[in-house]
Structure formats: structure tokens, C-alpha cells
Amino acid sequence: MQFDLPDDQRSRDIVGVLLSLPEGSVVTYGGVAAAAGHPKQSRLVGRILSVYSDSLDLPWWRVVNVQGRLVPGQENEQTTLLKSEGIELVNGRVPVTD
């Protein structure tokens, strides 16, 4: 099965970082953007995750906002996936360090 990849370098850089996130890790949208070399593109990270998560098998559950909040509407699934990787939540949030 073939999927359309993002057509610009910035998006491809972000996808590369997302695909490299190891199991058991959590990063913020801004952390992904910075690691991709585009530190002011945290909203683009969210957009890419919403469009390409399924088709590119991106580990969307490993990305949280800067306060450690989970994806709205996906909290239960994200909690389950994070806990399965050994990530502990505190008051429904992930402690973030980046």
C-alpha cells in the first residue's frame, strides 16, 4: 500500500523525528519541531500527526503539549498506549522535561 508523503522538506523532517521516537519516550510538539530543526513549527507537528498518523504509522501517543496534556478526545487510548510503554501519568498528565 502506498501513501502520500508530505511534499515539503519541513514536514518530511518532522515525520523523520516522529518515526524515530523510541518506545517509552514522550516529547512535546515543540520538542519534535526543535529536533527537526524547525523550532517554531509545533502547530505543524500537530497537523502532521492529525493527517499522517494512521497512514505513516506515526507514534502520535508519544507526543503531548508543553503542559503534558493528552490529545483531546483521545485521552483514554493515549493513556493506555503510554502505560503499556511504562510511562506513568500524574493527575492525567505526562511529566515533561523538554
Q: Give residue-wise pLDDT tens across range 23-63.
A: 999 999 999 999 999 999 999 999 999 999 998 999 999 99
pLDDT higher than threshold 80 for residue 4: no
Domain ranges of the chain: 9-84
> In DSSP terms, which residues pair with 61 in a beta bridge?
none
> First-to-last CA distance in the chain?
35
Asked if 6 and 12 touch (Cβ cutoff 8 Å), the reply is yes
Mean pLDDT, rounded, of the chain: 92
Asked if 33 and 40 touch (Cβ cutoff 8 Å), the reply is yes
Domain 9-84's class? mainly alpha
**pTM, whole model, 2 decimals?**
0.90
